[in-house]
Chains A and B, each alone.
Chain A
């Protein structure tokens, strides 16, 4: 009673809410909303594609994943839809792409952040970013018209030299048209290099000057400084960049469709034609009906699941590697 009777000036100042609180609330609802929107869209895509693909899943069961034959119009009996050959093609062409693109991208990024003279950096970055602006169909046409024919003698030469080695030689088997897993992988490598380069470059440039100074002050050469200070600091970010590149490679459609050869094929021979999930979808969707269409959408679901799975795996790899490299913080 004595407290409440005090003059108006004694009103508690700390509990009053000004205009700033409204802004804060709007901001928090907006960010929460956009965050949830992403999840909702992802969920919606998953649910609707699975529903559309259901007739094919229903007809094939688990064989949809384990069957290597894909025959929508058999002479006798039911159509067979097995995703395995195409999943293999997607995996192999993306793997080849990373095999070439990662060392090149990391090299370019290190050159740009640590070695290149200042006045060379801007132009070099522009050129690499331009590479990312080339439409994928252009890469595909270039691949089919120029790269594939030009590489046939190279593939032939590699087959002649390496083909005889036991086991390993099976990777370098007989050469066909030049449209094969290897060509698809190489074209993909060129396409993902700008992405991986530009992200790893950003990651490398966040390494604190203090870390580099520490290495140099111990008498490290430039390479020792990179190994000791730059790479441990950047490992997680580089893996993230590689994952984005891998996502692009696995999902790439038209360029792969043009150069991979279009065969339903699982073989160790990198010089043999094959097909990838994304490429099959774009090649066959126009002429499909009923269960066939459902099966193509099913391929999309498998591709989506594969991408998510690889990203989850990559995250756990990064966590474990960082704990080993940096020591646990606990």
Chain B
């Protein structure tokens, strides 16, 4: 029995907040800022992920774990419409952000991504200077004039400022992998999104760089809501408040679909999972 909705049922309903109320303190931590209801993602006629329902809590880290091919990255990309440019990709069900359906007809995907940013698996700074990487997002968001303060603020928040302040005009490609990934985070937070999606942000990094990014994630929950996809269960256990476990299932027609098996508080999911499949996965008997 999948317990997708055990968590949602413990909360009265999805709290809907007017856009723009962000800072911690004005709202109780843990109110859902996003809500997925029966979300399926298709590539052409292939249903990659079937019927996902889960909340994303404000100012918390929500982790998505599961074996390869379980659709966790696909669901993540559905949260800020990054699947749109893929030919044939389609989403059914509802992904709401402050109560507004992201896939409604009149919603501009550009605006969606300005509120819900994304950090990718492989550090992908632009082939530009460190400064211009951070300034890029500011410029396309119409912030003109002196960007120095904004750039410094973003780099400081991303715990990178001290390492790069003397070489802002140097190429971002000359940085180490861990620095590049923090630069990508700085670039994302420079445009002040509410939610940051991270798709296996540490999988290309060494343990020390990984630890830095994990510290940073915890730090960032003061101002941002984070959703992270990770292959690393320890990482999910270390940084997240809630964890969603996905797996791949083969249906009657022998077609594989990603499915959400269990969503609950991270401590509970790892110590007392409700579903047998979750238990098998976290104890290493599967995947």
Q: Which residues does A use to contact B, with CB under 8 Å?
A: 118, 208, 210-221, 224, 228-229, 232-233, 325-330
Contact = CB atoms under 8 A, between A and B. Distances in A.
B214 to A, nearest CB: 21
A221 B110 contact: yes
Given A210-B120, A329-B171, A329-B173, A218 B136 contact: yes
Contacts of B228: none
A212 B140 CA distance: 14
A329 B174 contact: yes
A60 to B, nearest CB: 49
Nearest to B84: A216
Given A221-B110, A233-B127, A216 B132 contact: no
Contacts of B122: 210
B82 interface: yes
Contacts of A219: 110-111, 113-114, 117, 137, 140-141, 191
A217 B80 contact: yes
B173 A218 contact: no
B interface, by DSSP: helix, strand, loop or mixed?
mixed
8 contacts: A210-B122, A216-B85, A217-B117, A219-B117, A327-B170, A327-B172, A328-B169, A328-B174
Contact of B127 (A118, A216, A224, A326): A326
A326 B188 CA distance: 19
B128 interface: yes
Contacts of B48: none
Contact of B120 (A213, A233, A327): A213
Nearest to A229: B126
B130 interface: yes
A210 B181 CA distance: 13
A328 B114 CA distance: 30
A118 to B, nearest CB: 6
A113 to B, nearest CB: 13
For this complex, into which size category does the number of interface residues on chain B fall? 35 or more
B126 A228 contact: yes
Contacts, number: 89
Interface string B123-134: 011111110100
Interface string B181-201: 000100110010000000000
Given A327-B128, A328-B170, 14 more contacts: A208-B124, A214-B124, A214-B126, A215-B126, A216-B82, A216-B85, A216-B113, A219-B137, A228-B140, A232-B126, A233-B127, A325-B128, A327-B170, A327-B171
B118 A217 contact: yes
B79 to A, nearest CB: 11
Contact of B113 (A212, A217, A329): A217
B169 A224 contact: no
Contacts of A208: 124
Contacts of B132: 327
A149 to B, nearest CB: 47
Query: Which one of A213, A219, A329 has the highest number of Cβ atoms from chain B below 10 Å of its Cβ?
Result: A219
Contacts of B114: 218-219
A10 B35 CA distance: 69
A118 B169 CA distance: 39
A224 B124 contact: no
Nearest to B167: A327
Interface centre among A212, A217, A325, A329 (most CB of B within 10 A): A217
Nearest to A234: B127
A211 B122 CA distance: 10
Given A210-B120, A328-B170, A328-B171, A218 B127 contact: no
B74 to A, nearest CB: 14
B160 to A, nearest CB: 15
